[in-house]
């Protein structure tokens, strides 16, 4: 067993079972929050809530060139929208603030110097170009790792390198031996130190590398469990080495499987729609997103599909997280959103629909109660059809404007029939005389009309549907006519008759 025994050190933490669970999500503000990140955040959040612990948000923005204030905002917004509230972090503060790495540089520096003084790290003057060249010269069989060139420089050598104007980076001196990671999902994973190679902890510009900053922050912030994506597993032995060197306790790890794109490569921009804000904009409900993401890599023994918030928190455990990567399936996400929309309270649905109707200019900025009533009726009719909120514009736009475009296919199939003009003409007259104008009466009228014209009911219904909506599909004909009202129905029949005259 090594002098720095992960087992030995890990035990302290396990034994003290009463310690409050503290987990963190540590995004880099170098892009929008994508579904993979959201899922990692979610698992951390669920774990924290399940154990009545703390969920901490930390911003890893040491890559100044790629980080932006804008993305920082988007990431925070997306988390809030999903309902993943954090107990400590930006905007919230906490005992271990600041929670933004760029404001913690002095801390990393302090620990870096400690390691330097103790001889556990050393200055490296190699330039990126030299390292690149070295790598290229490596034998095929050799692992890619640092040569150790600057490991044992004399002070004279250092002076002369510095005289050349070289800015040193700080490298960690990897001791001989073996490290292992006791992963909650995968068991013990061992790594040989000699294959790791001395790695950089402080770049020549003084900023810390991911592994270093991460170790310092997680330790100082008293994190108990690191739940993060699988892609970090190969980084973990480096971090374990650092915990040892810094005399920090080794935390518990759980590397959760990645989310992949359709082509089963790691989800990225080129897979198209992957950001949380995209799905938000399209009209996915936040809870759909949470529910769906929870099912990517986690499941219950009965493969339950739908969960309420408290139920999910109560049922979520790391033990039931799978080990293999999962492909993100937009189809199932859409289905689930449709399910949640169908279960939604009608008034709530109306509220969610309004911004989309407004953006499409189908309703006025200021809304009177009659309009709201109408939206409510429309929502009732479309609720079972709509899967994503933004679809309301396409599905139900015709309710709000008489000036919709006619879909050419149904026009061809249903309107361009010889019997249609005289049928519509007669229909218009009879509807005009119809009182009251109610669904039941309208249906009777149309069925009688069919008999009088020796047509099947469908041969009457279909042309009217196209005349009223411009399309072949949609809610029930009588229901939608009821929402439109007598005047509008007559107007649209006339418009169709007019169109007929012109095209024939």
User: Cα separation of 63 and 43, whole Å?
Assistant: 25
- Kindly compute the dihedral angle of the four CA atoms of residues 206, 211, 217, 222, in this order, to the nearest 10 degrees: -160
Q: Does 305 bind RNA (CB under 7 A)?
A: yes
Q: Is the dihedral of CA 275, 278, 280, 283 positive or negative?
A: negative
The torsion angles phi and psi of 225, rounded to 5 degrees, stand at -135, 130
Q: Does 199 bind RNA (CB under 7 A)?
A: yes
Q: Does 140 bind RNA (CB under 7 A)?
A: yes
User: Cα separation of 1 and 499, whole Å?
Assistant: 88
Q: Which residues of 473-491 are buried (b: 16+ CB within 10 A; e: fewer)?
A: ebbebbebbbbbebeebbe
Q: Which of 83, 93, 206, 234 binds RNA (CB under 7 A)?
A: 234
Pairing of β 169-172 and β 200-202: antiparallel
Q: Which of 13, 107, 153, 233 binds RNA (CB under 7 A)?
A: 233
Within 96-135, which residues bind RNA (CB under 7 A)? Answer: 128, 131-132, 135
User: Cα separation of 288 and 404, whole Å?
Assistant: 32
Q: Does 327 bind RNA (CB under 7 A)?
A: yes
Q: What is the DSSP string of 57-72?
A: E-B----TTT--HHHH
Q: Does 476 bind RNA (CB under 7 A)?
A: yes
Minimum distance between the CB of residue 277 and RNA, rounded to whole angstroms? 23
User: Per-residue x/- mask for RNA, residues 38 to 77, rule CB under 7 A?
Assistant: ----------------------------------------
The torsion angles phi and psi of 404, rounded to 5 degrees, stand at -80, 165
Task: For tokens 């002369």, name the residue.
Answer: 160
The torsion angles phi and psi of 61, rounded to 5 degrees, stand at -115, 35
User: Per-residue x/- mask for RNA, residues 446 to 465, rule CB under 7 A?
Assistant: -----------xx--xx--x
Q: Does 191 bind RNA (CB under 7 A)?
A: yes
H or E stretch covering 252: strand 252-256
Minimum distance between the CB of residue 119 and RNA, rounded to whole angstroms? 22
How many of the chain's residues bind RNA (CB under 7 A)? 67
Options 21-29, 79-87, 113-121, 298-306: segment touching RNA (CB under 7 A): 298-306
Q: Which of 69, 91, 117, 142 binds RNA (CB under 7 A)?
A: 142
User: Per-residue x/- mask for RNA, residues 364 to 403, rule CB under 7 A?
Assistant: --------------------xx------------------
Minimum distance between the CB of residue 156 and RNA, rounded to whole angstroms? 29
* Residue 269 is a catalytic residue: yes
Q: Is the dihedral of CA 370, 371, 375, 381 positive or negative?
A: positive
Q: Does 178 bind RNA (CB under 7 A)?
A: no
User: Per-residue x/- mask for RNA, residues 12 to 41, rule CB under 7 A?
Assistant: ------------------------------
Within 213-232, which residues bind RNA (CB under 7 A)? Answer: 230-231
Q: Does 441 bind RNA (CB under 7 A)?
A: no
Q: Does 235 bind RNA (CB under 7 A)?
A: yes
Options 24-32, 143-151, 348-356, 484-492: segment touching RNA (CB under 7 A): 143-151
Catalytic residue among 92, 135, 167, 269: 269
Q: Does 144 bind RNA (CB under 7 A)?
A: yes
Q: Which of 3, 324, 454, 502 binds RNA (CB under 7 A)?
A: 324
Q: Which of 12, 66, 73, 323 binds RNA (CB under 7 A)?
A: 323
Q: Which of 59, 169, 326, 378 binds RNA (CB under 7 A)?
A: 326
- Kindly compute the dihedral angle of the four CA atoms of residues 39, 41, 43, 48, in this order, to the nearest 10 degrees: -170
Whole-Å CA distances, 173 to 93, 197, 211, 245, 451: 35, 8, 14, 10, 93
Task: For tokens 């296919």, name the residue.
Answer: 409
User: Cα separation of 171 and 192, whole Å?
Assistant: 18
User: Cα separation of 34 and 56, whole Å?
Assistant: 19
Q: Does 281 bind RNA (CB under 7 A)?
A: no
User: Cα separation of 274 and 328, whole Å?
Assistant: 9
Nearby residues of 360 by Cβ (< 8 Å), 6 or more positions away:
393, 397
List of residues contacting RNA (CB under 7 A):
128, 131-132, 135, 140-145, 186, 189-191, 195, 197, 199-200, 230-231, 233-235, 257-258, 260, 263-266, 295-297, 299, 301-303, 305, 319-320, 322-327, 329, 331-332, 334-335, 338, 384-385, 457-458, 461-462, 465, 472-479
Q: What are the catalytic residues?
A: 269
């Amino acid at each position: 067993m090594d002098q720095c025994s992960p087992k030995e050190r890990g035990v302290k933490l396990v034994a003290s079972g009463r310690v409050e669970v503290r987990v963190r999500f540590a995004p880099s503000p170098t892009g929008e929050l994508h579904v993979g990140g959201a899922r990692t955040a979610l698992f951390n959040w669920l774990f924290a809530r399940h154990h009545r612990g703390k969920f901490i948000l930390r911003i890893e923005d040491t890559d100044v060139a790629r980080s932006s204030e804008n993305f920082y905002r988007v990431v925070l917004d997306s988390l809030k929208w999903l309902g993943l509230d954090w107990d400590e972090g930006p905007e919230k503060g906490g005992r271990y603030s600041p929670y933004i790495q760029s404001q913690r540089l002095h801390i990393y520096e302090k620990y870096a110097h400690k390691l330097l003084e103790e001889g556990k790290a050393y200055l490296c003057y190699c330039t990126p170009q030299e390292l690149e060249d070295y790598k290229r010269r490596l034998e095929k069989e050799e692992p890619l790792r640092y040569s150790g060139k600057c490991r044992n420089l004399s002070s004279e050598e250092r002076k002369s390198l510095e005289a050349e104007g070289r800015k040193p980076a700080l490298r960690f001196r990897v001791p001989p031996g073996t490290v292992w990671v006791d992963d909650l999902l995968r068991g013990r994973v061992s790594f040989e130190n000699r294959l790791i190679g001395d790695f950089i902890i402080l770049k020549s510009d003084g900023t810390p590398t991911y592994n270093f900053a991460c170790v310092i922050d997680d330790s100082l912030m008293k994190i108990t469990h690191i739940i993060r994506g699988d892609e970090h597993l190969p980084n973990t032995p480096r971090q374990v080495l650092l915990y040892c060197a810094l005399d920090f306790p080794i935390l518990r790890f759980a590397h959760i499987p990645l989310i992949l794109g359709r082509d089963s490569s790691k989800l990225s921009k080129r897979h198209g729609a992957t950001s949380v804000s995209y799905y938000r904009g399209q009209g996915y409900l936040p809870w759909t997103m949470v529910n769906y993401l929870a099912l990517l890599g986690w499941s219950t023994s009965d493969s339950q599909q739908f969960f309420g918030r408290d139920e999910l928190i109560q049922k979520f455990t790391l033990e039931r997280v799978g080990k293999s990567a999962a492909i993100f399936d937009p189809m199932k996400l859409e289905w689930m959103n449709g399910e949640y929309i169908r279960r939604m309270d009608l008034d709530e649905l109306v509220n969610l629909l309004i911004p989309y109707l407004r953006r499409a200019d189908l309703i006025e900025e200021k809304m009177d109660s009659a309009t709201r009533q109408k939206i409510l009726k429309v929502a009732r009719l479309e609720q079972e059809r709509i899967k994503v909120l933004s679809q309301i514009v396409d599905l139900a736009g015709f309710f709000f404007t008489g000036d919709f475009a006619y879909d050419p296919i149904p026009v061809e199939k249903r309107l361009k029939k010889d019997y249609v003009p005289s049928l519509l003409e007669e229909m218009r007259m009879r509807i005009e005389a119809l009182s009251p104008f109610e669904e039941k009466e309208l249906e009777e009228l149309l069925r009688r009309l069919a008999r009088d014209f020796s047509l099947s009911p469908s041969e009457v219904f279909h042309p009217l549907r196209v005349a009223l909506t411009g399309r072949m599909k949609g809610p029930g004909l009588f229901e939608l006519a009821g929402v439109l009202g007598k005047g509008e129905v007559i107007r649209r029949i006339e418009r169709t008759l007019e169109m007929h005259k012109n095209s024939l």
